[in-house]
Structures are given as C-alpha cells and as structure tokens.
C-alpha cells in the first residue's frame, strides 16, 4: 500500500471527468504527489534528529519539538493529498452503481452510465464542493497551527524539564518554507480549477434546462 | 508514485514525438532521472549530517547550513525535472482529446471516418500538423524556458557550479566567524557539472527540434502556396485560351451575319 494506490484510483476517476477535471488530476499528480514523493519527503525525513536545543538537559529537546510541531508539516501534507483525492470516489461509486443496476435489470437504463447527467451530475457537483472545502480546511489548519506559512530558524522554549528559556534550532527552515509555499500555491491552483469546473457545469446544465423548457413552451 | 509513473505517462507521448523528441526523452530518462535516483541522491543523502562546523555551540551548524543551502541541489534538480516534463502532458492531453473526437465520430457512424474499429483509433499515431503542431511547438518552447530558468537559478544561488570545501559562517548563534566543512565537495561538483552538461544538451536538442518544426512548417506552407499558384497559372492559361476561342467564334459569327445580311 503506497502512493501508487492513490495514483491508480485517480486514473480511474479520470475517465468520468470533464476536461477541467482531467487538468486537476494532472496537477495533483505532477505538482503535488510527485513533488511530495520525490523532493519534500526527504526534507522532513530527519526533522526530529536535526532539531537541536542549546541545552544538555535530557528530555528538553523532545518536549520542545512536540510543543512546536504537534503534527508535522509533511504529515499534514500527506493527509491533505489523501482527503482531497477521496471525494472523486463518489463519482466512481455512482457510475458502478448505475452499471450494476443495468446488469440487474438486464436492459439499457442509461444512454451512457459514465455520462455526467441526472443523478451523476449532482454527485459530481457534491464531490467538487467537498474537494474545495477540504482544500480550504487544510490551508486554514496549516495557517492556524503554524502561525502563518513561515518557518522560523529559531524557537524559544521554556517547558518543563527545560530549566529556563532555551534556544532551539530548526533544521533547513528556508528549504521547508519554499516547499510550503509551493504546497499553498498548488492548493490554490486546485481550488481555482475546482471552482471553475463547478461554474462551468452549473452554467452548461442551466442553459440546457432553459433551452429544453423553451422548446417545450414553443410546442 | 515515483519517477516510474512519470515514465509511464511520458512514454505515451513518445509515440507522437519527432525523432529529436524521442532522443530528448531518452536523454531525460537515462541521463537525468536515472542518475538522480541511482547516484546523486546517495551523494547528497548525508549532506546535513556530515556538514561539520568548527564549534560546539548548539544551533550554529543548523543555522550555517540553512544560510549556505537555502534549497538543496537535489531538490532543485527534482523540481527542474518535474517542470521540464510537464509541457509534454499538454501534447498527451491534446492527443487524447483528438482520439476521443475520432471515437465519437466512429460511434456515430460518420461516413467520413476511415477507421475499421476502435482499436485502430487507439493505436493510431497522429501527425504533427494543424492545432497539434501549435501545442507541440508551445510545449517545446515552455520546456526551454523552464530549463533556462532553473539553470540560472542554480548559478545565481550557488555562485557558479563549484562546491567549495570550506565556508566561513558568522550567523547568530555562532560565537564568531566559524569554519564549516561541506561533505564530499568534489563528488558533488562532478555531479553538478554533469547535470548542467546534460541540461545544456537537452536545451540544444529542444532548440534543434524547434528549428526542425519551424522549417517543416514553412516548407509545407510554401509548397501549398506553390501548388495553388500552379493551379491559378493553369487556370489563367485556360481562361486566355477560352477567351481566344470565344473571340474566334464571335468573329466568325459576325462574318456569317455580315455575310448573310449583305
């Protein structure tokens, strides 16, 4: 079980997406998943070992690290990637349900089970709203937990058993900050893509509805 | 999810590339991605552990390392490779879109569609012309820009491509100017120069491919213009012949009329 599983999952979603949805999948693969695995993971790999405090008191380093990093950036990043990819599964499940129904009744109930219309449209819209919501939630979480997207190179810690206020030094703060900004930028890009896909679908189907009604009235 | 997945994605693009594009992809995978994963990552693996400063002051090493290496070489290369591979996705998406359109035509039973079955559409190789030409050329152009930007960023951040053995650091909390020693500087310099050289080769290949595509485009245009000129010349000749014949006919008619009247 690894990121390859998520990759295969998203490839399945790609089939039932609109054009903008496919661009979203490509952005998630290339700029978020690949960057995470190929670059970001290694930066945070030894963050605890390389976290150094200016004191010999045993336990002080552990306590200070735990205080300043309740959940590591890299774990939040991984959680965000997983949570944001999951709503797309709703669409896959709905299509599978449609195909199952067709098999059970042994007749063609839908013109094309994978086409985004009727109930599947609502599922798709809900998945888009959930994706956008989760992205925003994680960005806010990042901001609140770490007081913005900055990583200081020095933090002052005075929790027991540290005898007094102690200087603790974080490793590679600049590199971590660069990748954090990269994460925020790609998140924002994904939010913009989701919102444009949402407006595109709503616009397209309201025009369709309006035209249908207009034709009915004329008849 | 790793570089292997990128290989699968870009492998699909390979079919629709020019020969120079195929060479570029090979160079990218063998001399850049593979070298990065198999060799370079090991060289830079212990970079912070073995970065040693001549002081016992806690925190000095962390701060000095962060000052001299705002972003590690290895991460910069990984980002460069990801950004440089992304434009090829544009081509892959365009090809997928065209295939989708052809499949739709085939399903509708369009008589214009010349394929016998869906498998043929899936396996077909599209020629680089029309809108695909613009997408392909645009992707090469973006590739060039990304390569150039990253090479400049490297040069700018590390004052050249050499890795010094010793760096003098006096950032707080180091008590005074402290000597800090980089681990494996020669090996790192060798790999940096290697990666820069391969980047330059890739830039040259991209420029050559761009020139080749532009030349082909202009040749095709001049051929079309030549063909249409030939056609219009041919048409002009036919017109003058017809005009002459018409004059002859009208003259002979007049003569007969005159002859008749007189």
Q: What is the pLDDT of residues A155-175, one digit of tens each?
A: 999 988 899 999 999 999 999
Mean pLDDT, rounded, for B246-260: 52
Question: Taking 80 as the threshold, does the pLDDT of residue B132 lie above it?
Answer: yes
Among the listed residues B168, B73, B69, the one whose alpha carbon sits nearest the alpha carbon of residue A153: B69
A68 lies within 8 A of chain B by CB: no
Question: In chain B, which among 157-216 make CB contacts under 8 A with chain A?
Answer: 173
Give the closest-approach CA distance of A46 to chain B in angstroms: 10
A35 lies within 8 A of chain B by CB: yes
CB atoms inside a 10 Å sphere around CB A157: 20
A185 lies within 8 A of chain B by CB: no
Chain A residues in contact with B70 by the CB 8 A cut-off are 174-175, 178
The CATH architecture one would assign to domain A14-218 is Up-down Bundle (1.20)
Q: Which two tokens stand for residue B130?
A: 């029309």
Structural domain spans, chain A = 14-218
For A172, the closest chain B residue by CA position comes to B66
CB B71 within 8 A of CB A178: yes
Which 3 state secondary structure label does DSSP give A168? strand
Of the pLDDT bands very low, low, confident and very high (cuts 50, 70, 90), residue A16 is confident
Whether domain B21-107+132-220 has CATH 1.20.1440.80: the reply is yes
CA A98 to CA A86: how far, in whole Å? 20
CA A97 to CA B85: how far, in whole Å? 37
Chain A residues in contact with B89 by the CB 8 A cut-off are 26, 30
Mean pLDDT, rounded, for B39-45: 86
Percent of chain B topping pLDDT 90: 30
Q: Which two tokens stand for residue B34?
A: 């593979």
Res B260: pLDDT? 38
Mean pLDDT of chain B: 82
CA B1 to CA A30: how far, in whole Å? 10
Structural domain spans, chain B = 21-107+132-220
Residue B1 has its nearest CB partner, among A7, A26, A174, at A7
Percent of chain A topping pLDDT 90: 47
Q: Do A52 and B58 touch (CB under 8 A)?
A: yes
Q: Do B59 and A154 touch (CB under 8 A)?
A: yes
Of the pLDDT bands very low, low, confident and very high (cuts 50, 70, 90), residue B225 is confident
Which 3 state secondary structure label does DSSP give A154? strand
CA B2 to CA B81: how far, in whole Å? 12
Give the closest-approach CA distance of B212 to chain A in angstroms: 29
Question: Higher confidence at residue B246 or residue A159?
Answer: A159
DSSP letter, residue B125: P
Residue B6 has its nearest CB partner, among A31, A34, A55, at A34
Mean pLDDT, rounded, for A28-43: 90
CA A177 to CA A165: how far, in whole Å? 25
- Render pLDDT for B64-123 as a digit per residue (tens, 0 to 9): 999 999 999 999 999 999 999 999 888 888 888 888 888 888 777 765 555 566 666 666
Chain A residues in contact with B157 by the CB 8 A cut-off are none
Mean pLDDT, rounded, for B8-29: 85
Mean pLDDT, rounded, for B37-62: 87
Distance of CA A43 to the CA centre of its chain: 20
Res B147: pLDDT? 94
Question: Higher confidence at residue A1 or residue B155?
Answer: B155
- Render pLDDT for A66-98 as a digit per residue (tens, 0 to 9): 899 988 999 899 999 989 988 988 888 888 888
Give the closest-approach CA distance of B229 to chain A in angstroms: 42
Say how many CB pairs under 8 Å bridge A and B. 100
Mutate to test the interface with A, among B40, B53, B59, B153 (most CBs of A within 10 A): B59
Give the closest-approach CA distance of B63 to chain A in angstroms: 7
CB atoms inside a 10 Å sphere around CB A38: 24
Of the pLDDT bands very low, low, confident and very high (cuts 50, 70, 90), residue B250 is low
- Render pLDDT for B167-220 as a digit per residue (tens, 0 to 9): 999 988 898 899 999 988 888 999 999 999 999 999 999 999 999 999 988 888
Q: Do A52 and B62 touch (CB under 8 A)?
A: yes
A175 lies within 8 A of chain B by CB: yes
Question: Taking 80 as the threshold, does the pLDDT of residue A64 lie above it?
Answer: yes
Q: For the purposes of burial, counting CB atoms within 10 Å of the CB of A191, is it exposed (0-12), middle (13-18) or buried (19 or more)?
A: middle
Chain B residues in contact with A154 by the CB 8 A cut-off are 59, 63, 173
Pairing of strands A154-157, A166-169: antiparallel
Question: Taking 70 as the threshold, does the pLDDT of residue B247 lie above it?
Answer: no
CA B229 to CA B237: how far, in whole Å? 12
Chain B residues in contact with A2 by the CB 8 A cut-off are 1
Question: Taking 50 as the threshold, does the pLDDT of residue B258 lie above it?
Answer: no
Among the listed residues B44, B64, B69, B67, the one whose alpha carbon sits nearest the alpha carbon of residue B54: B64
Among the listed residues A154, A191, A175, the one whose alpha carbon sits nearest the alpha carbon of residue A35: A175
Give the closest-approach CA distance of B66 to chain A in angstroms: 5
CB A29 within 8 A of CB A186: no
CA A2 to CA B1: how far, in whole Å? 8
For A174, the closest chain B residue by CA position comes to B70
For A1, the closest chain B residue by CA position comes to B1
Question: Taking 50 as the threshold, does the pLDDT of residue B261 lie above it?
Answer: no
């Amino acid at each position: 079980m690894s990121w390859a599983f998520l990759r295969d999952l998203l490839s399945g979603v790609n089939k039932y997406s609109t054009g903008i949805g496919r661009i979203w999948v490509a952005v998630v693969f290339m700029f978020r998943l690949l960057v995470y695995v190929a670059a970001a993971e290694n930066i945070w790999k030894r963050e605890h070992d390389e976290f150094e405090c200016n004191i010999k008191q045993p336990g002080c380093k552990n306590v200070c690290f735990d205080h300043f990093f309740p959940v590591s950036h890299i774990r939040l990043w991984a959680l965000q990637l997983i949570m944001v990819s999951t709503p797309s599964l709703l669409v896959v499940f709905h299509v599978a349900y449609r195909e199952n129904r067709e098999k059970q009744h042994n007749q063609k109930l839908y013109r094309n089970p994978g086409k985004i219309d009727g109930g599947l449209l609502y599922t798709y819209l809900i998945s888009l709203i959930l994706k956008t919501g989760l992205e925003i939630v994680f960005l806010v979480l990042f901001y609140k937990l770490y007081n913005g997207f900055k990583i200081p190179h020095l933090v002052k810690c005075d929790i027991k058993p540290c005898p007094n206020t102690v200087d603790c030094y974080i490793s590679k703060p600049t590199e971590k900050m660069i990748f954090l900004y990269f994460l925020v930028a790609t998140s924002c890009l994904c939010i913009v893509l989701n919102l444009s896909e949402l407006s595109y679908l709503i616009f397209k189907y309201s025009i369709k509805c309006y035209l249908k009604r207009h034709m009915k009235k004329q008849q | 999810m790793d570089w292997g997945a990128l290989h699968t994605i870009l492998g699909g693009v390979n079919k629709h590339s020019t020969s120079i594009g195929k060479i570029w992809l090979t160079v990218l995978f063998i001399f850049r991605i593979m070298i990065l994963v198999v060799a370079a990552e090991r060289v830079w693996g212990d970079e912070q552990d073995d970065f040693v400063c001549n002081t016992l002051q806690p925190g000095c090493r962390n701060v000095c390392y962060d000052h001299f290496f705002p972003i590690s070489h290895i991460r910069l290369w990984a980002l460069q490779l990801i950004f440089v591979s992304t434009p090829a996705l544009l081509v892959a998406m365009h090809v997928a879109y065209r295939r989708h359109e052809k499949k739709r035509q085939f399903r509708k039973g369009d008589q214009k569609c010349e394929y016998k079955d869906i498998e043929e559409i899936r396996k077909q190789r599209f020629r680089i012309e029309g809108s695909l030409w613009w997408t392909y050329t645009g992707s090469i152009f973006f590739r060039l820009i990304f390569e150039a930007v990253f090479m400049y960023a490297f040069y700018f951040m590390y004052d050249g491509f050499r890795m010094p053995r010793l760096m003098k650091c006096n950032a707080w909390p180091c008590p005074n100017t402290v000597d800090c020693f980089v681990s494996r500087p020669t090996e790192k310099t060798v790999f940096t120069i290697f990666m820069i050289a391969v980047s330059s080769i890739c830039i040259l290949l991209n420029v050559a491919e761009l020139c080749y595509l532009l030349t082909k485009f202009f040749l095709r245009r001049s051929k079309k213009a030549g063909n249409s000129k030939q056609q219009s010349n041919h048409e002009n000749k036919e017109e003058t012949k017809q005009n002459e014949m018409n004059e002859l006919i009208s003259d002979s008619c007049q003569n007969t009329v005159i002859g008749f009247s007189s």
